[in-house]
């Protein structure tokens, strides 16, 4: 397998002879430099241990903090104030939006290995077109959080079952300006997080069941895509994927298609999920809200909740890994 990004390549496989032959062939066709074992790729650092591969963006974070002179500030324990409700008209509009847009763009790229800031960055990115000084201060607050968590990253565990598990959640009418809901999901391969997202829904939902079901549909789409990708990588027997949801009404709709009054607003999603359920591809499953990993992608949590979910998700500082 060869991953190509412009002129950067990662060559992977389970046969070193074939890997070397592939590299020799590529070198015969292009002017290339072999950088050896994967350590650094597009700002992502890769460290190996007995526990697996640890992905982080330490240098990328350090560069941002140095640029904004935030290396020696007092760190914060949360990326956003849990009591703050941002609106489009919060504060005074910035005369030049470019500094805000540039900072948010850099933070968006950082969410590749930092799911703990995904929801905050999702909220802040909604104001890219017309940011205010309040929005900018909230973005700077994220840097204060990062200053105390530079070593944080995700662990792709070397041990674990070859199965996909997905968690989905939503925050009903969470957007203060549009009253649209936010969908959030995270998907694990064994014990390793491989996909996560915070996304504002395209329409206003009239009930929690509706917004939770739309979140489930978004998660199922991602699961389907991941299964096809993993099949190309040789993992063709992944079995049924559990979709963990903490909303009983959404689970009832998935199990029983005859809920006409409750499902008329999400008719297509109902048929889509029912089809995948009937085919044995997914299995909607209840999970208590205290164990809902996707909470991190739909709302700001307390420090205790945040740390608990990050541990379960495999988000940790590199210092916690054994050599």
CATH number of 160-314: 3.30.420.10
- 262-278 as b/e, with b when 16 or more CB fall inside 10 Å? bbebbeebbebbeebbe
From residue 257, alpha-carbon distances to 128, 242, 264, 271, 272 in Å are 40, 19, 11, 8, 11
Q: Model's pTM, two decimal places?
A: 0.89
Listed residue (279, 199, 294) closest to 243, CA to CA: 294
Least confident of 126-130, 181-185, 276-280, 285-289: 276-280
Q: Is the pLDDT of residue 87 over 70?
A: yes
pLDDT of residue 314: 85
What is the C-alpha separation between 108 and 178, in angstroms, rounded? 22
Average confidence (pLDDT) over 230-245: 90
Write out pLDDT tens, residues 269-283: 677 887 888 888 999
For residue 290, the tally of other CB atoms under 10 A from its CB is 10
For residue 160, the tally of other CB atoms under 10 A from its CB is 14
pLDDT of residue 134: 95
pLDDT of residue 210: 86
What is the C-alpha separation between 135 and 82, in angstroms, rounded? 15
User: Mean pLDDT for the chain?
Assistant: 90
Q: 92 and 133 in contact (C-beta within 8 Å)?
A: yes
Average confidence (pLDDT) over 87-103: 94
Least confident of 104-108, 157-161, 270-274: 270-274
Q: What is the percent of the chain where pLDDT is above 90?
A: 64
What is the C-alpha separation between 138 and 91, in angstroms, rounded? 11
Confidence of residue 58 (pLDDT cuts 50, 70, 90): very high
Q: What is the layout of strands, in order, in the sheet containing 152-157? A: 40-41, 44-49, 52-56, 152-157, 315-317
pLDDT of residue 266: 64
Q: Where are the domains of the chain?
A: 2-36, 56-152, 160-314
pLDDT of residue 9: 93
pLDDT of residue 292: 94
pLDDT of residue 263: 55
Write out pLDDT tens, residues 275-320: 888 888 999 999 998 899 999 999 989 999 999 999 888 888 877 6
pLDDT of residue 194: 94
Q: Is the pLDDT of residue 193 over 80?
A: yes
Q: Is the pLDDT of residue 250 over 60?
A: yes
pLDDT of residue 234: 87
pLDDT of residue 268: 66
| Backbone torsion region of residue 30, taken as left when φ is above 0, otherwise alpha when ψ lies between -120 and 50, otherwise beta | beta
More confident residue, 234 or 263: 234
More confident residue, 289 or 167: 167
């Amino acid at each position: 397998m060869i991953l190509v990004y412009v002129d950067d390549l990662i060559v992977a496989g389970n046969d070193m002879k074939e890997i070397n032959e592939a590299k020799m062939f590529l070198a015969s066709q292009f002017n290339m430099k072999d950088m050896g074992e994967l350590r650094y790729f597009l700002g992502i650092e890769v460290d190996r241990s007995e526990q697996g591969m640890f992905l982080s963006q330490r240098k990328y974070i350090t560069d941002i903090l140095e640029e904004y002179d935030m290396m020696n500030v007092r760190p914060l324990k949360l990326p956003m104030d849990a009591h703050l409700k941002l609106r489009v008209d919060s504060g005074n509009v910035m005369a030049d939006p470019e500094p805000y847009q540039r900072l948010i763009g850099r933070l968006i790229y950082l969410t590749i290995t930092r799911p703990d800031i995904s929801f905050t960055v999702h909220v802040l990115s909604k104001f890219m077109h017309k940011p205010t000084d309040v929005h900018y201060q909230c973005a700077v607050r994220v840097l204060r959080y990062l200053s105390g968590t530079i070593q944080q990253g995700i662990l792709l565990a070397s041990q674990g079952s070859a199965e996909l598990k997905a968690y989905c959640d939503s925050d009903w009418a969470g957007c203060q300006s549009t009253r649209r809901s936010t969908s959030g999901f995270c998907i694990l391969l064994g014990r390793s997080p491989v996909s996560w997202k915070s996304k504002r829904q395209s329409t206003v939902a009239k009930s929690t069941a509706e917004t939770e079901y739309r979140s489930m549909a978004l998660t199922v789409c991602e699961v389907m895509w991941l299964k096809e990708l993993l099949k190309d990588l040789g993992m063709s027997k992944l079995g049924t994927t559990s979709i963990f949801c903490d909303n009983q009404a959404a689970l009832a709709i998935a199990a029983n298609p005859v809920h006409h009054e409750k499902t008329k607003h999400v008719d297509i999603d109902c048929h889509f999920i029912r089809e995948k359920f009937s085919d044995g591809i997914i299995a909607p499953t209840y999970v208590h809200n205290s164990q809902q990993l996707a909470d991190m992608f739909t709302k700001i949590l307390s420090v205790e909740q945040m740390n608990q979910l990050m541990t379960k998700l495999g988000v940790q500082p590199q210092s916690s890994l054994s050599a």
